[in-house]
Amino acid sequence: MIRITTNSINPADVLAQVGDDSSGGVVLFLGQTRDHSRGEKVIGLEYEAYENLALKQMEKIAAETRQRWPIRTIAIVHRTGYLKVGEISVAIAVACAHRGEAFEACRFAIDTLKKTVPIWKKEFRPDGSFWVEGVPIQIVEKMTTENLTESSEKPQLPWWQETVGMFKDDPAFDKIVELAQAIREKERREAEQAE
């Protein structure tokens, strides 16, 4: 079941769409509207979709998830319109033979949805209403587990501040220092000659 609805989402209805006797694990993800965002109080959220394309993208997510994990069934439902805090904005249910693949597949589906489906949300706060800054729409088939990690989980450091390894006790460290000194020395000599 792939659906966009203005009605409230009932998790039991979504679960009823997946699972059969061959499914040993069913994972249900519910996204609900939160009462805060980046330190600001939130009263409600309004969701808007480009419905034709959004449904098409959700179908692609289901197909892509099926291709990557041995899932039996998948259901994806997204709500649009105004939601109060605590209401369900999105539900994804995945049924698999085993729980591990069900968890992974469901995670992939929700992470991919956030980046590939043309839906926008506006936060209603005590100080006004604001469109949430999103991400440029991406191609479902190109999503990888790595680029799906949420930015809140992985601090985004510029590359030169990232620690990729330690080489304090590595003989390569002395060699690098030696080479760098040689390069600097060469540049200094060239600069002197140029003068």
List of residues contacting other proteins (CB under 8 A): 31, 47-50, 52-54, 56, 78, 89-90, 110, 113-122, 131-137, 139
What is the CA 36 to chain-centroid distance, rounded? Answer: 19
In angstroms, what is the minimal distance from the CB of 162 to other proteins?
24
Cα distance between residue 14 and residue 1, in whole Å = 8
CB 3 within 8 A of CB 51: no
In angstroms, what is the minimal distance from the CB of 118 to other proteins?
5
- The CA distances from residue 40 to 92, 127, 146, 153, 154, in Å, are 27, 9, 29, 19, 21
Q: Is the dihedral of CA 164, 167, 172, 178 positive or negative?
A: positive
CB 80 within 8 A of CB 6: yes
- Which C-beta is closer to other proteins: that of 141 or that of 174? 141
In angstroms, what is the minimal distance from the CB of 89 to other proteins?
7
- Which C-beta is closer to other proteins: that of 36 or that of 189? 36
In angstroms, what is the minimal distance from the CB of 91 to other proteins?
11
Cα distance between residue 42 and residue 84, in whole Å = 9
- Which C-beta is closer to other proteins: that of 76 or that of 102? 76
- Which C-beta is closer to other proteins: that of 72 or that of 77? 77
